[in-house]
Structure formats: C-alpha cells, structure tokens
Amino acid sequence: MDREFGFYLKKIFQMAESELNKDLENIDLTSSQAKLLIYLYKNRDNPINQRDIEKEFSLTNPTVNGILNRLESKKFIQRKVSSIDARNKEIILSDKSIVLITELEKKAKNMENKLIANIEKEKLNIFYEVIKQIFNNIQGGN
C-alpha cells in the first residue's frame, strides 16, 4: 500500500491555513498572526519576547520579526523594553487585539471542528497518539 503521509499532512495544513486566512481577511489578519495573538493572550501573565515566539512556533528570527512588524504596524501589539532584561523587548497585546481574542479562538476552533467532523472519537484518539509519535520521531525523541 502506497502511503504518502507527508503529502497528505502538508495538503491538509495548506488547505486549512488557506481557508482560515480567507476567514480572517475581514479583520486584516493572517492565520500565522492570529495564532501568535492567541499564544500571547494565553501567556499574558508571563513576559514574552521574540525568542520565546521563535522557540514556540519553530520559526526563524527573520520570520518572527516580519510577523511582529506587521502586527505592530496594524496596532495589534506593542513592543516595550523588558523589565527583566533591558536588551530584550516584551511583546504586549494591544486593546485592539484583546477585543478580538474570542473571535480568533472561535475561528480556530471552527477550523479544528471542520477537520475532525464525522470522525469517531476512538479513531481521533488513535490518530492523536499516532500524530504525537510522528512528531516525536521528527523531533528525535522516543
């Protein structure tokens, strides 16, 4: 049996991201930007800097810097000098972002529900275990 896991994983990701991007157009955000805002909101009690974001999302410095620059120019975030280390800047959500968080989380949840629609819970549990193992394999873990 010919199984092209990588092909299907990539296509699923691309299709979901494209649909989510279309859904976010009306609030001038991309799926990457929305995910970052949700991450910042969920971690709002901890100071978050650019390196934290790079590690969390496995993205390069230039990629994260570009996302942050666009979010800052759209007034979704602010960067302020860290109270812990003056060499770093903390990323702070603006009031504009905080007002949108519920809507962003709802859009993300709707996409997740669409992805798993009509799949039995038992199969989803097995899939989740398998996808975690694939992730660990790629990461070099066991």
| pLDDT over threshold 80, residue 1 | no
Residue-wise pLDDT tens digits, 88-139: 899 999 999 999 999 999 998 999 999 999 999 999 999 999 999 988 998 8
Phi, psi of 59 (to 5 degrees): -115, 155
| CA-CA-CA-CA torsion sign (45, 65, 115, 141) | negative
Query: Is 132 inside a domain boundary?
Result: no
Give the integer Cα–Cα distance in Å for 57 and 64: 9
Give the integer Cα–Cα distance in Å for 78 and 8: 37
Tell me the C-alpha to C-alpha distance, in Å, between residue 123 and each of 117, 128, 133.
12, 9, 15
**What's the domain count of the chain?**
1
Query: Is 140 inside a domain boundary?
Result: no
The pair of three-digit structure tokens given for residue 35, joined into one six-digit string: 């995910």
Query: Is 52 inside a domain boundary?
Result: yes
Give the integer Cα–Cα distance in Å for 129 and 131: 6
Mean pLDDT of the chain: 91
Q: 11 or 84, which is more confident?
A: 11
CATH of the domain at 95: 1.10.10.10
Query: Is 122 inside a domain boundary?
Result: no
Q: Give the domain extent around 78.
A: 5-115
Residue 86 binned pLDDT confidence (cut-offs 50, 70, 90)? confident
- Beta-strand relationship, 89-93 and 77-81: antiparallel
Query: Is 127 inside a domain boundary?
Result: no
Query: Is 131 inside a domain boundary?
Result: no
Query: Is 38 inside a domain boundary?
Result: yes
Query: Is 141 inside a domain boundary?
Result: no
